[in-house]
Amino acid sequence: MSESIATDAAERTNWTVDYADTDPIEIRDPVAEALAVLDPGVPFVVTYADAVKAVGHSCPTAAGAFRIAQVGLDALYPDEYPVRGDIEVLAGGPKEDATYGVMSRLISYVTGASEADGFGGLAGGHGDRKQRLSFGDFGADEPTFAFRRRDTGGIVEVTYHVGNIPEAGAATQYLPKLIDGEASDDEREAFREAWHDRVRSVLTDDDLFTVWETDKEF
């Protein structure tokens, strides 16, 4: 690939939705620092657009998972950057559940916390992230995750109040036509505005999330 083509590809965007006004998540990665990907103490900046690329779509579930990670880590690390490998995540429902399955993947993407198949760290286990993600049963009516700092033992729990998300409206009726490739430009635009306005409400409304300290067993 020529340099000019590579530059054009890097600068080109075909997004129809702008998420630039959504606050990113900043998180340190000891492995990236050790391998000189990042300077010591400098965090990765994970945007919601990054999360959308990771899961392949944008919806209230994906936006909710991003925000659960964001508000949970902010509460757990109020005065410093969170650190991958130092974070344990407990999902409040089974990974076979459609909501918890999708959310746990995105939260794992942000935090690095993973199950037995995760990254085991560099020599001596530096930056190990295996066995940091687990699934339980909180008995909660709405999606709930707990986050634990391995260095301090501090734990916070986050509940996402999905029942309070505004309705997308009548334009969602066009989704089957979008899937079949039969929607008109006007129908596509109406759906886009209704759907992504709903997503934006999740990304901006702190009242959709409750965060509290807990002694939940991991």
Give 30-79 pLDDT, tens digit per residue: 999 999 999 999 999 999 999 999 999 999 999 999 999 999 999 999 99
Q: Are 106 and 65 in contact (CB under 8 A)?
A: yes
How does pLDDT run across 134-144, given as a tens digit for each residue?
999 888 999 99
In a domain? residue 33: yes
CA-to-CA separations, 66 to 61, 173, 178, in angstroms, rounded: 9, 26, 26
In a domain? residue 13: no
Q: Are 155 and 146 in contact (CB under 8 A)?
A: yes
pLDDT confidence bin for 16, thresholds 50/70/90:
confident
pLDDT value for 217 = 82
pLDDT value for 2 = 46
Number of domains into which the chain is organized: 1
In a domain? residue 190: no
pLDDT confidence bin for 12, thresholds 50/70/90:
low
pLDDT value for 124 = 83
Please give the Cα distance from 76 to 111 (Å, whole number). 12
Task: Give CA angle at 164 (161, 165), nearest 5°.
Answer: 100
State yes or no: pLDDT of 132 exceeds 90. Answer: yes
**Percent share of the chain, pLDDT over 90:** 80
* Pairing, β 25-27 against β 44-46: antiparallel
In a domain? residue 89: yes
State yes or no: pLDDT of 11 exceeds 60. Answer: no
State yes or no: pLDDT of 177 exceeds 60. Answer: yes
In a domain? residue 187: no
Q: At what angle do helices 48-55 and 98-111 cross, to 10 degrees?
A: 130
Query: pTM of the prediction?
Result: 0.91
Please give the Cα distance from 150 to 86 (Å, whole number). 5
In a domain? residue 70: yes
State yes or no: pLDDT of 4 exceeds 50. Answer: no
Please give the Cα distance from 175 to 181 (Å, whole number). 10
What's at 44, amino acid-wise?
F
Task: Give CA angle at 80 (107, 151), nearest 5°.
Answer: 75
Domain holding 139, by residue range, is 23-162+199-213
State yes or no: pLDDT of 120 exceeds 50. Answer: yes
Q: Are 74 and 56 in contact (CB under 8 A)?
A: no
Provide the b/e sequence for 22-46 (b: ≥16 CB within 10 Å): bebbebbbbbbbeeeebeeeebbeb
State yes or no: pLDDT of 10 exceeds 80. Answer: no
What's at 74, amino acid-wise?
D
**Percent share of the chain, pLDDT over 70:** 94
In a domain? residue 193: no
Please give the Cα distance from 163 to 59 (Å, whole number). 15
In a domain? residue 3: no
Phi then psi for 202, rounded to 5 degrees?
-65, -40
Q: Are 48 and 69 in contact (CB under 8 A)?
A: no
The mean pLDDT value of the chain amounts to 92
